[in-house]
Structure formats: C-alpha cells, structure tokens
Amino acid sequence: MQHHRFKDLPLSDLRNVWLQHDGGPPHKVSSVQQYIRDTFHQRVIGYGGCVEWTPRSPDLNPLDFFLWGYIKQRVYATPPPTLQELRNRITDACASVSPAMLYNVQREVQSCVQMCIVAEGHHFEHDR
C-alpha cells in the first residue's frame, strides 16, 4: 500500500476507513467534530462516534501501545532542529510501518480483546 496523506485519499477509499481517536481536546472542537462526521459518517470510534472508545484504555488501543511509541522513538531519537525536519521525520516514521508490523499489532489486539472478554470488561493484566 502506498502511503498517502489523509486529505489526498480518494473519497472512494475513505468509504471503507474507520477513524479511531481518543477524547483529546482537539477532537472535541465543533469544527473538527463536523469534519469527522462529514467524512466518516457512522465509522467513528471514540468521542462522539457511533462506537464509544474509552480514551484511557491502552490495553485495547493499538495506537497507544504500539504506534505512538514507535513513531516517537524514531522521530525524537535526536531533537529535530527545525519544524520541517520534524515533519519529515514524522512522514518517514509513518512510512516505515510495515504490513508485517501491522499484522502483529492486529494479532496482539485480538489477544487483548479476548482477555477483556474473559475478564468481563474489568481490569486485566497483560504482559507484552
């Protein structure tokens, strides 16, 4: 799959995309909420979405337990000297996420969800 900026994806591709976000303040701004509703309709996981997502549940959030840590490690290995260099590093870090890495994340999420079901939604320990 080629890496695209979100706004460059054709509308036909967005019809199959779900957006997952947390309850961060930027996601609660009315203009952002309207954009999300207009773009993703009923395919939103998170604050104000058709599927609510507890923002403080890193065991069930692949973005929290994998992606952000991986991206931050690559982007901030050394302090970026300029804003453009920061942008370049973020783009490069995102492009370096391989299909195999995403497959492993999917398997990990499935395992965590199964543990959550067994625990009936209560706190559970998970060793990574």
Contact present, 38 and 15 (Cβ < 8 Å): no
User: H or E element: which one contains 20?
Assistant: strand 19-20
> Does residue 16 sit in the same domain as residue 43?
yes
- 22 lies in a domain? yes
> Does residue 76 sit in the same domain as residue 47?
no
Between CA 39 and CA 17 the distance in angstroms is 10
User: H or E element: which one contains 27?
Assistant: helix 25-28
Q: What range defines the domain where residue 82 resides?
A: 58-119
The tens digit of pLDDT for each residue in 90-110 reads 999 999 999 998 888 888 888
Q: How many domains does one find in the chain?
A: 2
> Does residue 48 sit in the same domain as residue 28?
yes
- 3 lies in a domain? yes
- 30 lies in a domain? yes
pLDDT reported for residue 68: 80
pLDDT reported for residue 4: 43
The tens digit of pLDDT for each residue in 28-47 reads 788 888 888 888 888 887 77
